[in-house]
Structure 1
Amino acid sequence: MVFKYWYNYRPEGVESRFELLVFDPRNEPFLPLTEFYQDCLGKISKSSALSYLKSLLPFFGWMELYSNYQGKRIQWDDHPQVIREAFETYLMDEMACKIRENNSFFLVNRTNKSPNTVNRFLSALKSFYKSLIQLKQYKYSNPLVNSQSILEEYTNQTTGARKGKLRMPTVAGTEDPIPHRRLTDSYFKLVNEEWRPEIIDDPHLPYRIYQAGKKVNWSLREVVIARMLFETGARASEVIKLTIGDYRTRKSFQEVNTFNKGSHGRRVKFLRFSKDTVKLLFRYINNERIILDSFNRNFEALPDNEPIFLTDSGTPHNYNAWYYHWNKAMNKCEIKLNPHKSRHWFVTTRVNEIYNTSKTKAEIEQRKSELIKYVRWSNSSTIEIYEHHFDEQKHRESHDRMLEHMKKNEKEYVEQNKRKRKGKSFLPSLETTKEFKIDDKIQEFLDGLE
């Protein structure tokens, strides 16, 4: 038996206030996590709520199987100090983090073995106890909230230079200004968290995913969405929530308008995809979708505000319903791939193409600028990480050519010595006395070597 916590969505036709149920390793309903997910709905997006839940499931399984406090297994509703003991051990043993105590809180440092989900896990567990306290199911204070820390921070920011006096107003100009930053009440603070995109340069990745979908009988809807993800670099929600009007408002039949992260639904960017995907899209709208539409409307008859993609029950498609089919395909073919990685694959492929086909540095810079505007990064410096990857790749290629040349010279040298021993003619020795001028930049580099 696989010892883990898991969840399942509420079956159609079943009445329940829960959208999903979480089960423990004995396949019994586990209400604390079920209640937590339900409480998150309406406060954060469904995809974020599900992401939080998924990051907590391994921890609860570990806590039941491996946790230890004074010879006993730790329970989720134990005293905050006990929960923190379990949390600290889990971060070190299971997430390969380094923990350092700093006054009244702990600093969490990720290592190169730590997953990218540490920050999400910290936020999820803190949110879990916040929900259970509000639901009156946890009788203590939040184990992940350090009230002492925020009190000290507040005291430091309000105490003035004059002994026993409060700070003077900023406009007075008599005391150094305090750097503006949000007070944090987290007991565990991640101190080296820096988001870095993943470099995914497997050229066959999209086709592996399409084949995985074929094995689980993806409908045309899932095929079109998957193709759009890899061909456009969009986030899944930006594709799933497209409307008929998003397509009609573009001049090109290969493009759609869509929203961006933080645009609050405003259509601020466009996506471009292949002609083959356009054909599949129209085949879906006028065949598969028309059956699910309550009025059996084809593309021409649909109003602009109608969603392009529908669920099997005829309602607007959503991330959770779509992810079920994606995850089913990944599990079937034993592929570990978060759908967001299609976005990383797209950018990796585009940057590679820019460097391979551009003829001048000016052309590279122009095309990079175009990509940045298309992807709509909030920080344009993100592309530097991808560039760094290809700088390294170019070095590998050049280095391989050098090694091949060295191998060839080695063979020539061995062959030369064999012929010399046999008294036969041999390759002329290398001329070492010939003078040549070293480039100034190379000379500067040589001088700087230690």
Structure 2
Amino acid sequence: MELSKYYYMYCPEDVKSRYHLLVFDRQNQPFLPLTDFYHDCKGRISESSALSYLQNLLPFFTWLDVYSKYQGETVLWNDEPDAIRVAIEDYLMEEMACKVREKDSFRFVNRTHKSPNTVNHFLSSLKSFYKSMDQLKQYGHRNPLIDTHSVVQDYKNHTEGVRVGKPRMPDIAGTEDPTPHRRLTDSYFKLINEEWQPEIIDDPHLPYQVYQAGKQVKWSLREMVIARLLFESGARASEVIEVTIGDYRSRKSFQELRTFTKGSHGRRVKFLRFSKDTVKLLMRYINTERKKLDTLHCSFNNLPDEAPLFLTEAGLSFTYHAWYYHWSKAMKASGLKINPHKARHWFVTTRLREIYNVSTTENEVVQRRTQLIKYMKWKQEDTIKTYEHHFDEEKHREAHDNMLDNMKEKEKEYLQQKKKKTKKPQVSRVHTNIPVEIDEDIQGLLKF
């Protein structure tokens, strides 16, 4: 019998509720802590990030109900911090194949080769959950994911000086021990040797696999256009889904639209560029499928600038979670394990490959790379270094293979030359019974 799990469902569009998403427990009853957490998150971060946090927590809450134990009792989500921490530690070791080591007032967490890539994201999600529960007055203890001792110690290091009872002197005075330049995270579970790395998605056929998956589940033009925009522009899903007709009209080229980016708070600070084929599909969508759903049944030329570019079946603004249902359905039916963000990684990898292929000088590489960074609106230019490392390794492999091929040819040349030098000259010996006539003068010389 399959284990019942925590899950979520979206509120039907014809039902009025202050929650547009509800989480249910293993008994199919509404579970408000996770429901409230999702909606609290959605007010602070993007909808897609809030959904990602929620999805990371559902398996843990299922496990908590079934397998957790502390002093012989099942651990509840609102138990005291010590019980919660023991449960999390057990979950990290048993379900995520991590190694957990005690250190002072916190725990070091090491991933193993069996651990998923989501360990850090899980811990961040759980820390955010208890932060929300504290702010919403639903959890009566301190956040179990925060090491309060480290917080207090860090505060002392930055405020207390060598003089007892007096504030710390400024560093320029030279009388104090230097303060550490980097603060240790305040998390109770500290994931060590872990840095975020963008994925290298280098499969040239990936977009077409996704498009084919969409055809299998009968995606509409809307889903197909959005998928093509993701792969062709390198945008985040929300940056495509939540644009308006005016965002599309504002650019001089029909192959471009303007949009917001992460941290721009809705301000249109970047543009997306895509293919002529996608332009044709987009215009066909606007003037056919979208026109039928639009309350005024307007075509592109008659639509107001503020009208959303993509609509739901009810004629409302299309949202990330409504779109994700269609994406998830296609990926599940085709067996592809691809989240939408991988389209962005694929775009960057493909663009960098093109830059290296078409550039003839290092200056051209630098110039085109700078253009890509500006297009992607990356705040940290170091983001691109991981992708470049992939191509540096690839170039090394290619150069190394050429070297090995040259070595093989040189070995053949050496062996051939050695064979020629060691080969003894052949002396030809003629055996014959035919009498040889010798000149008389020569005969005389021979007798002498």
TM-score normalised by the shorter chain: which range applies? Answer: 0.7 to 0.9
CA displacement at 1:376 relative to structure 2: 1.9
Q: List per-residue Cα deviations over 1:276-314 (Å, max 9, x = no partner).
A: 000001001111111122211111112222221112211
Q: How does 1:405-420 map to 2 (within 5 A)?
A: none
Q: How does 1:6-405 map to 2 (within 5 A)?
A: 6-111=7-112, 113-168=114-169, 175=176, 178=179, 185-399=186-400
Q: Count how many residue pairs are aligned between Structure 1 and Structure 2.
A: 421
Matches of 1:432 and 1:310, distance apart in 2: 82
* Range with greater deviation from structure 2 (96-105 or 226-235): 96-105
Matches of 1:168 and 1:428, distance apart in 2: 79
Q: CA RMSD in A?
A: 3.1
Q: 1:142 to 1:2 in 2, by over 3 A?
A: same
* Range with greater deviation from structure 2 (37-46 or 348-357): 37-46
* Range with greater deviation from structure 2 (366-375 or 215-224): 366-375
Matches of 2:16 and 2:270, distance apart in 1: 40
Secondary structure of the 1:380 match is coil
Q: List per-residue Cα deviations over 1:383-442 (Å, max 9, x = no partner).
A: 2211211222233345556677889999999xx9xxxxxxxxxx6646899xxxxxxxxx
Partner of 1:445: none
Q: List per-residue Cα deviations over 1:113-145 (Å, max 9, x = no partner).
A: 543433332222122223334545434332223
Q: 1:171 to 1:386 in 2, by over 3 A?
A: closer
Secondary structure of the 1:48 match is helix
Q: 1:301 to 1:181 in 2, by over 3 A?
A: farther
CA contact (8 A) 1:52 1:121 kept: yes
* Range with greater deviation from structure 2 (100-109 or 5-14): 100-109
What code does the residue aligned with 1:306 have?
Answer: A
Secondary structure of the 1:75 match is coil
CA contact (8 A) 1:2 1:25 kept: no
CA contact (8 A) 2:23 2:35 kept: yes
Matches of 1:402 and 1:73, distance apart in 2: 62
Q: 1:393 to 1:138 in 2, by over 3 A?
A: same
CA contact (8 A) 1:21 1:30 kept: yes
What code does the residue aligned with 1:13 have?
Answer: D
Give 1 or 2 for the bigger CA radius of gyration. Answer: 2
CA contact (8 A) 2:154 2:183 kept: no
Matches of 2:307 and 2:16, distance apart in 1: 28
Secondary structure of the 1:132 match is helix
Matches of 1:387 and 1:431, distance apart in 2: 48
Secondary structure of the 2:300 match is coil
CA contact (8 A) 2:157 2:179 kept: no
Secondary structure of the 1:394 match is helix
Structure 2 gap ranges (5+) = 423-448
Q: 1:95 to 1:134 in 2, by over 3 A?
A: same
Matches of 2:144 and 2:384, distance apart in 1: 39
CA contact (8 A) 1:150 1:183 kept: no
Matches of 2:310 and 2:17, distance apart in 1: 26
* Range with greater deviation from structure 2 (63-72 or 367-376): 63-72
Relative to the length of structure 1, the TM-score reads 0.83
Secondary structure of the 2:23 match is strand
CA displacement at 1:106 relative to structure 2: 2.3
Matches of 1:156 and 1:361, distance apart in 2: 46
Identity, in percent, stands at 66
Matches of 2:361 and 2:127, distance apart in 1: 51
Partner of 1:2: 2
Q: 1:388 to 1:171 in 2, by over 3 A?
A: closer
CA displacement at 1:325 relative to structure 2: 1.0
Matches of 2:13 and 2:319, distance apart in 1: 16
Secondary structure of the 1:300 match is helix
CA displacement at 1:382 relative to structure 2: 2.2
* Range with greater deviation from structure 2 (61-70 or 209-218): 61-70
* Range with greater deviation from structure 2 (284-293 or 400-409): 400-409
CA contact (8 A) 1:125 1:144 kept: yes
CA contact (8 A) 2:75 2:83 kept: yes
Q: 1:57 to 1:412 in 2, by over 3 A?
A: farther
Matches of 1:123 and 1:97, distance apart in 2: 16
Matches of 2:112 and 2:51, distance apart in 1: 26
Matches of 1:432 and 1:307, distance apart in 2: 83
What code does the residue aligned with 1:147 have?
Answer: T
Secondary structure of the 2:200 match is coil
* Range with greater deviation from structure 2 (337-346 or 186-195): 186-195
Matches of 2:397 and 2:67, distance apart in 1: 44
Partner of 1:420: none
CA displacement at 1:226 relative to structure 2: 0.4
